[in-house]
Copies of this chain bind each other. A is one copy, B any other.
Amino acid sequence: MEKDKKKYTIEDIARELGVSKTTVSRALSGKGRIGRETVERVQAFVAERGYRPNVIARGLAQSRTYNLGLVIPMEDTDVSFFKECMGGICEKASEYNYDVIMAIMKEDRLTQLHRLVANHKVDGIILTRATVESGAVRFLKEQGIPFVVIGPSDDLEVMSIDNPNREASRELTALLLMKGLRRLSLIGGNSRHYVTQSRKQGFLDAHRDRGFHADDALIFMEVEDYRKAMWAVNRILLAESDGIVCMDDNISALVLGCLRERGVEVPDRIRLASLYDSHQMEQNLPPVTSLHFDTKELGRNACMEMLRMLGEELLQEPQRLNYQVILRESTK
């Protein structure tokens, strides 16, 4: 059943063609001076014989692996984010004849990452959000391994590929203002995080654009648990805010819970929107208006930046990252 697995090597090709390995190698890689005719002859022969060079051997000769490591956290709940992202990464990687090796990180343990690096199995590493806070960045810097981060980074030294949070937040906020809302409040988490700042900026941008003034008293940061959320919600209700913008879906869920406890109806009494969508927003009651980002493209872009760092010449520049405002019942 198994075909003769007589694997062709460059040597076989060279012999059968009556040229040297050097010539075959050059004809296939296109590097070095070589006759057009020879190139064609070799390529035709190789195509017919179905010969494909052994990428691993090539890698060894060039001290490369043509592998990218992708580190993802086992605990991340947003599975579809991760899958889409991976889809984009794999797609791009294969265009450049790279492969991607998975490293799954459990409870911030770096073991898998260490293995990958120690075994010399990858040329570079792509870190996804949430794997960043684990010491992975420090480790990779120390080792001098090229890496990029998908998601926001507070560290300016790292190459971070992220969604256009500021612009998107601005657009969603603008839409709410257009709907006639005038006393929007904003609830966010850790204000030292870069992502928090960008989303806040977008919120402010939208107000400024239309000549409105965002009320500082309606902006709440460091809201990270139910207690804090309830505190913010109470003040928001007292201040007669007409809409709440939450920075992400977790905060959104918290706030929705608070409003329910207080018996406040959404959207009738107050509108609600989220600056991030995790496929769960749709399931909420009521479904929450939110921003949707193109995760697959995010993955593609990250991969391209990684390849660029590795010295690959990009066939095309990364596309601008897109997003959509998805209007749902919570802002009806």
Contacts and interface: CB of A to CB of B under 8 A. Distances in A.
Copy number in the complex reads: 2
B97 A100 contact: no
Contacts of A177: none
A134 interface: no
A67 interface: yes
Given A3-B142, A143-B3, A120 B55 contact: yes
A155 to B, nearest CB: 12
A122 to B, nearest CB: 9
Interface in A2-48: 2-3, 5, 7
Contacts of A56: 56, 59-60, 65, 119-121
A195 interface: no
A1 interface: yes
A86 interface: yes
Interface residues of A, number: 45
A329 B307 CA distance: 51
Interface in A149-201: none
A101 to B, nearest CB: 5
A113 to B, nearest CB: 11
A104 B116 contact: no
15 contacts: A2-B141, A2-B142, A55-B119, A56-B65, A56-B119, A60-B60, A79-B79, A79-B80, A82-B83, A86-B102, A90-B102, A94-B115, A97-B119, A99-B102, A100-B101
